[in-house]
């Protein structure tokens, strides 16, 4: 007998218990309704194919995500407040509940209106719920339904202001802050958001134009770019806002007369291209200066902005101004730090026949300068010194200490060009006792010389640093683990060894700092093995591409250290 209930031979027709057993044994794949399985905290643990198709997301994109944050939306496409979400509260409380005609986000950013049913369930090791999703009115199109958002209540306004503060102060990236600002205001308040910014040279740039279209935000790059200068006497709304005057209302008629400036010409074009029939424009003020202006426009919804909308917009731009001020200050400091770092790190020498490349990536959450460094310089016509090191720290003190270590190393190496690398590093270690900015450091010092057999030789000593990696042109790899000694600054007196190896043609040597291989969630052996395997796969790449792809593929995502790399490749 099959489970459809058709009898075979003389077997009796299935009874109720047989049917129930077959149905209860069905898997999620057999269920024709969209089913999402969540644990008791709301995390998605499974979803059947129907749910994946309905939500436009793969199994991997769903599992492990918070069901509320990933899927549930209000009619504007924004995540609904957690405390006011009936679906989430039912899951957490383990209640059976039902909801009608609510919005859910698909993988492509569009919204779909679904009803839902939460059915608590439990297993031997965990509890959770089945969430069944289905169309509210199957076969009925949403076209023609009035989707114009209702006016914001006082609670909605307070919620929007709180979200604005939270969202904008949680990033120090100006571009990301601008995108968050547009996502907060469109389509809640308007169909369009336009942000004009003043540069440090008092030039105007239309930084972002976003349109709400087909349920998603679309960037209009064709309307962005440089703008004419701000006229000092113009009474037009955007000109006044960019001078820091109060917010004001505007419409197509505002800019229909003879233009008084280039900005007025651009504003007329903006209203024509966007079809906005009503707009509000407010200045974005920082602590000391006007940073720009925010324009919100309406083209789809029929209602026009009124003077009652201006206080809310001014509250939003006031918060945006403080956040942008902080982001700009951070980026200015970061630029100064990066400039300092570039000047601290040297230019590469030209070694006839040898290809060389370097990379430096600052720590993602530090001041953009740190203790990682590299160096390469000529000792004689046929011998060059190579060095890489890491001074403890990720701040200006570490950068200052790094510069001292590098300069002393150069001086000691130049004064003794025939000395073994170990002797020079021992001399440097003794000198570091008198350098307060350098508590401890690791480094490799090597010399590269052309032998009598016309093959390049690498001689090196290692002071507590990750070992160099040798990669042959056919992808064979090995770490140079010889000549390993203690790090600098310990105060211990130990002999330092040297080692030498011959570099066959088309051999790549990679010196790097530990930020390339270390991760708080994996062992150093895991990182070294990962580096070795990726370097082997990239052996045929040009050296610059080799370095770029290694950084992209090997550097751990949870890395919080800077990375320095020095690579060389011998000629054919």
* pLDDT band with cut points at 50, 70 and 90 for residue 334: low
Band the pLDDT of 336: cuts 50, 70, 90: low
Q: Lowest mean pLDDT of 98-102, 174-178, 270-274, 567-571, name the range.
A: 98-102
Rounded Cα–Cα distance for residues 430 and 496 (Å) = 13
Q: How confident is the model at residue 284 (pLDDT cuts 50, 70, 90)?
A: very high
CA 548 to chain centre: 18
Give the closest residue to 188 by CA, choosing from 208, 166, 212. 212
Q: Give the pLDDT confidence score for residue 11 in this predicted structure.
A: 43
Looking at residue 211, its pLDDT comes to: 95
Mean pLDDT, range 283-292, rounded to an integer: 92
pLDDT category at 13 given cuts 50, 70, 90 is very low
Predicted pLDDT of residue 375? 92
Residue 345 near residue 374, CB atoms below 8 Å? yes
Q: For residue 513, what are the contacts with CB-CB under 8 A and spacing of at least 6?
A: 372, 388, 389, 390, 465, 466, 561, 562, 563, 564, 565
pLDDT of residue 344: 60
State the Cα–Cα distance between residues 310 and 276, nearest whole angstrom: 17
Decide: residue 243, CB within 10 A, 0-12 exposed, 13-18 middle, 19+ buried. middle
DSSP per-residue codes, 98-139: EEEEEEEE-TTS-EEEEEEEEEEEE-SS-EEEEEEEEESSTT
Q: What pLDDT, on a 0 to 100 scale, did the predictor assign at position 146?
A: 42
Phi, psi of 546 (to 5 degrees): -55, -50
Spatial strand order in the sheet of 508-512: 355-361, 563-569, 508-512, 469-471, 477-479
Cα 366 → chain centroid: 15
Choose between 565 and 150: higher pLDDT.
565
Find the DSSP H helices in 261-416. 262-274, 310-344, 396-415
Quick check: 226 pLDDT over 60?
yes
Q: What is the DSSP secondary structure assignment for residue 252, as one 8-state letter?
A: G
Give the pLDDT mean for 85-114.
85
Predicted local confidence at residue 395, as pLDDT:
61
Question: For 318-326, what is the mean pLDDT?
Answer: 91
Mean of pLDDT values over 240-255: 93
Between 191 and 27, the higher pLDDT residue: 191
Highest mean pLDDT among 26-40, 377-391, 501-515: 501-515
pLDDT-derived band of residue 354, with 50, 70 and 90 as boundaries? very high
Structure-token pair, residue 530: 């990962």
User: According to the model, what pLDDT value does residue 22 have?
Assistant: 44
pLDDT of 7 reads 37
430 vs 479: which has the higher pLDDT: 479
Q: How far is the C-alpha of 362 from the C-alpha of 346, rounded, in Å?
A: 16
Could you write out the DSSP letters of every residue in 332-368?
A: HHHHHHHHHHHHHSPPPPP-TT-EEEEEEE--TTS-S
pLDDT tens per residue across span 169-181: 888 888 899 999 9
**pLDDT at 512 exceeding the cut of 90:** yes
Residue-level pLDDT at 364: 64
Report the 10 Å Cβ neighbour count for 366. 16
User: What pLDDT, in 10s, does the model give residues 456-467?
Assistant: 999 999 999 999
Q: Which residue has the higher pLDDT, 253 or 84?
A: 253
Residue 58 has pLDDT above 50, yes or no: yes
| Amino acid 288: pLDDT | 86
For residue range 466-480, what is the model confidence (pLDDT) as tens digits? 999 999 999 999 999
Which tops the pLDDT comparison, 293 or 520? Answer: 293
Consecutive H or E run containing 241 = helix 237-242
**pLDDT of residue 5 exceeding 50:** no
Mean pLDDT of the chain, nearest integer:
85
Band (331; pLDDT cuts 50, 70, 90): confident
Q: How far apart are CA 287 and CA 375, in angstroms?
A: 42
Instruction: Specify the higher pLDDT residue, 341 or 309.
Output: 309
In the predicted structure, residue 10 carries a pLDDT above the cut 60: no
What's the whole-number mean pLDDT along residues 249-272?
A: 93
The predicted structure's pLDDT at residue 19: 39
Which has the minimum average pLDDT: 128-142, 437-451, 486-500, 542-556?
128-142
- What would the two tokens of residue 91 be? 């899951």
């Amino acid at each position: 007998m099959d489970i459809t209930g058709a009898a075979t031979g003389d077997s009796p027709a299935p009874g109720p218990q047989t049917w129930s057993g077959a149905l209860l044994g069905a898997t999620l794949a057999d269920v024709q309704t969209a089913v999402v399985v969540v644990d008791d905290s709301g995390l998605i643990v499974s979803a059947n194919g129907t749910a994946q198709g309905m939500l436009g997301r793969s199994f991997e994109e769903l599992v492990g995500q918070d069901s509320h944050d990933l899927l549930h939306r209000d009619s504007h496409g924004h995540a609904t407040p957690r405390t006011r979400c009936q679906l989430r509260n039912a899951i957490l409380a383990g209640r059976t509940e039902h909801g009608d005609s609510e919005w859910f986000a698909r993988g492509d950013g569009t919204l779909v209106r679904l009803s839902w049913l939460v059915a608590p369930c439990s297993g031997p090791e965990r509890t959770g719920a089945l969430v069944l999703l289905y169309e509210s009115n199957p076969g009925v199109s949403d076209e023609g339904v009035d989707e114009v958002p209702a006016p914001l209540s006082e609670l909605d306004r307070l919620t929007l202001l709180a979200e604005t503060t939270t969202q904008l102060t949680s990033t120090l990236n100006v571009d990301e802050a601008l995108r968050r600002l547009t996502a907060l205001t469109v389509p809640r308040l308007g169909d369009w958001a336009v942000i004009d910014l003043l540069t440090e040279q008092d030039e105007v740039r239309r930084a972002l134009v976003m349109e709400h279209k087909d349920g998603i935000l679309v960037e209009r790059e064709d309307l962005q770019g440089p703008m004419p200068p701000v006229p000092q006497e113009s009474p037009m709304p955007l000109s006044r806002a960019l001078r820091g005057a109060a917010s004001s209302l505007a419409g197509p008629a505002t800019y229909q007369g003879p233009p008084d400036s280039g900005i007025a010409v651009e504003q007329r074009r903006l209203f024509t291209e966007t079809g906005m029939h009503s707009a509000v424009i407010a200045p974005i003020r920082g602590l000391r200066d006007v940073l720009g202006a925010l324009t919100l426009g309406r083209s789809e919804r029929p209602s026009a902005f009124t003077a009652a909308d201006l206080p809310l917009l001014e509250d939003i731009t006031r918060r945006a101004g403080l956040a942008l001020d902080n982001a700009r200050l951070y980026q200015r400091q970061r630029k100064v730090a990066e400039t300092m770092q570039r000047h601290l790190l040297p230019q590469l020498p030209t070694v006839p026949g040898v290809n060389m490349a370097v990379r430096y990536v600052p720590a993602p959450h530090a001041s953009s300068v740190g203790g990682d460094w590299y160096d390469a310089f000529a000792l004689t016509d046929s011998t060059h010194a190579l060095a890489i090191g890491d001074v403890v720290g990720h701040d200006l003190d570490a950068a200052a200490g790094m510069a001292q270590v590098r300069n002393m190393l150069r001086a000691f190496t130049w004064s003794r060009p025939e000395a073994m690398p170990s002797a020079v590093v021992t001399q440097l270690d003794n000198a570091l006792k008198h350098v307060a900015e350098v508590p401890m450091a690791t480094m490799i010092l090597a010399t590269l010389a052309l032998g009598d057999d016309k093959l390049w030789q690498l001689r090196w000593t290692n002071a507590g640093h990750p070992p160099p990696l040798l990669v042959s042109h056919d992808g064979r790899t090995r770490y140079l683990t010889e000549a390993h000694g203690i790090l600098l600054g310990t105060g211990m007196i130990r002999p330092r060894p040297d080692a030498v190896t011959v570099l066959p043609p088309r051999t790549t040597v990679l010196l790097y700092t530990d930020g390339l291989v270390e991760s708080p969630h994996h062992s150093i052996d895991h990182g070294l093995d990962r580096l070795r395997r990726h370097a082997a796969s990239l052996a045929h790449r040009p050296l610059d591409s080799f370095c770029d792809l290694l950084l992209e593929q090997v550097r751990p995502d949870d890395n919080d250290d800077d990375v320095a790399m020095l690579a060389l490749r011998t000629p054919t």
